[in-house]
Structure 1
Amino acid sequence: MASKSNRAAGLDALILCGGLGTRLREETEFKPKPMVEIGGRPILWHIMKHYGAHGADRFVLCLGYKGDAIRDYFIHYHNRSHDLEVDVGSGALEVIPTAREDKLDCRVVLAETGHDSLTGRRILKALKHVRGDIFLATYGDAVADVEIDELIETHQRMGKLATVTAVHPSSRFGELAIDGGVIRSFAEKPQVTEGWINGGYFVFQKKAFELLHEDQNEPLETALLEQLARMGELAVHHHRGFWQCMDTFREMQLLNDLWTSGAAPWRVWA
């Protein structure tokens, strides 16, 4: 998949990476959920590759639970993604230029946002690292083939403080009541099995976060998105393609099976 217009170029992409991931305890006991692997690469890497295909080249990662694992991954990423020649006697290291389409080519801000912070506070703590008045954001535990260019176009056309990508659910998530392209209500994780749900992949105006206060540790979903919905300031971008979160061991296996089969819809290179 290739970007059509690179609308994401120049926009920072913020990724929430600090949750506990308790429903995937088989893996998250030892690592943060964004570092759980699909096809030998962290799901975080897959998400970043997707954004990168649309021109995003600067990411702000909101760290929390076991955040050092993410720090270490990116601090050592350059050497790990190239062939190397080592002088064993002196320890000198030479990086051998390697042409690989699967490399990340971007800048990353590793922002500590607190072990116990909820999603609203995490973004508030990291907001000082975000350039410009508009930014992209998503969760660090789901992959999709969302056309980021089209998402940004929707946000610009609707002229609201925020836009959320609505997807069809595979399990229970925040259900969206939609009227005329605007979110009218936002119910976090209701008891439903059909309709449109919050799939992440947001576009925000920074101004939206003036509605939150860092001294109040609140979730993004109930503290901000519900407010924006009541104000008529939460637009929707409908995504009818692939979207899948990785909340459970079964979902992790599903994503790995898709990758291994060569049929992963979110893959962004040949």
Structure 2
Amino acid sequence: MKKVEAVKLPPDASIREALHIIDSGAIKLAIIADEENRLLGTVTDGDIRRAILNGKTLDESIDGVYNKHPVVVGIDESKESIINLCTAKKIYQIPVVDKRGRIVRIAMLDELLKPKTRPNKVVLMVGGLGSRLRPLTETTPKPMLHVGGRPILQTIVERFASHGFTDIIMCVNYKADIIRDYFGDGNRFGVNISYILEQKRMGTAGALSLLKERPGEPFFVMNGDLLTNVNFENMLQFHLDNNAMASMCVREYDFQVPYGVVNIENGKIRSIEEKPVQRFFVSAGIYILNPACLDLIPNEYYDMPALFEKIISRGEHAVSFPLREYWLDIGRMEEYEKANREYYKVFE
């Protein structure tokens, strides 16, 4: 049982305030209550990400975002009943209320009931040439370039391990021996690492056709040249909550047109927009796939966008997971230098 004061908010709080509570606590939930402590609702990381996709800003009110009909239990509910309800509803915490609807505490699924490590595999694509980072990559594969005093790939492995994802597969090609010699079986990093050697370039999805064993659970796929502090547990829960076949991390990208844009209709000027800003969501190179996705991947060069297009064309459910955390694709020298400047502010 957890105290609720640290995660409680009034109904006029902002989305930003709710995010702060969700990110800073182990409960991963914010409670909305009125002045008399009556439960009005709950808000989760997934609720906020859906609101962002729908155009909400962090400074807007949480009203309209939080769940006003959460699952609750009474103060006399037994431990066994709470566990059974959590299992049936696929949730990890339930507000406990008294007969007047006032929030008393939050019942959490006992941490001891959950496995110490999670069964979901992590596939890291680390076979790229890193041509744009030459001459640094002439002797070192890009994922092994040091940022913050350690290889980029080590930070990725440690981030997954910190969330309980310890079954890691590395798809290697260029200078594969350097990666294998450094990581070995992963024991000294608290993980289990196996390797797939790409004899030829297979793309970001084609290499998955080389997996020796079919995963039994949804699994992560991530490019090996990224730095991010995204919560992988939240991403997996978002994938499961949405019953998705495939999930893609997306990042908002702004582009400002450096000129006045003239809107023309039938030769007539209708309006002029001075240097408008165009906003897009772009792929962030992190994915979760259900095992059934492997049936759609040919044993040849095949990129992840092609896989998602196939999934969508078949009417399967593909969802986006908007990133609001730190993220940097280290593809060019200026990004590599930026990563080294920012590393200790983000990861230490």
Paired position in structure 2 for 1:199? 284
Q: Percent identity?
A: 23
Deviation at 1:114, TM superposition (A): 2.3
Aligned 1:11-90 pairs, distance under 5 A: 11-75=120-184
Deviation at 1:31, TM superposition (A): 1.6
Distance 2:254 2:185 in 1: 35
The structure whose RCO (Cα within 8 Å, separation 6+) is larger is 1
Aligned 1:151-230 pairs, distance under 5 A: 151-169=235-253, 194-214=279-299, 216-222=300-306, 224-230=307-313
Deviation at 1:2, TM superposition (A): 9.0
Contact persistence 2:185–2:194 (CA under 8 A): no
Distance 1:44 1:236 in 2: 24
Paired position in structure 1 for 2:232? 148
Deviation at 1:232, TM superposition (A): 4.4
- The Cα RMSD (Å) is 2.6
Paired position in structure 2 for 1:107? 192
Using structure 1 for the length normalisation, give the TM-score.
0.72
Aligned 1:111-126 pairs, distance under 5 A: 111-125=196-210
Using structure 2 for the length normalisation, give the TM-score.
0.57
Deviation at 1:40, TM superposition (A): 2.0
Q: Which structure 2 residue ranges, 5 or more long, are not aligned?
A: 1-23, 28-110, 256-276
Deviation at 1:248, TM superposition (A): 0.6
Contact persistence 1:2–1:53 (CA under 8 A): no
Opposite residue 205 of structure 1, the aligned amino acid is N
Larger Rg: 2
Contact persistence 1:18–1:63 (CA under 8 A): yes
Distance 2:183 2:316 in 1: 39
In the TM superposition, structure 1's runs of 4+ consecutive aligned residues that sit over 6 Å from their partners are 1-8
Distance 1:135 1:221 in 2: 17
Distance 1:58 1:44 in 2: 15
Distance 1:143 1:153 in 2: 21
1:138 equivalent to 2:222? Answer yes
Distance 1:115 1:33 in 2: 18
Contact persistence 1:114–1:122 (CA under 8 A): no
In the comparison of the two structures, how many residue pairs are matched?
Answer: 217
Paired position in structure 2 for 1:235? 319
Contact persistence 1:17–1:63 (CA under 8 A): yes
Opposite residue 165 of structure 1, the aligned amino acid is C
Paired position in structure 2 for 1:95? none
- Higher mean displacement: 8-17 or 41-50: 8-17
Does the residue aligned with 1:236 lie in a helix, a strand or coil?
strand
Deviation at 1:198, TM superposition (A): 0.6
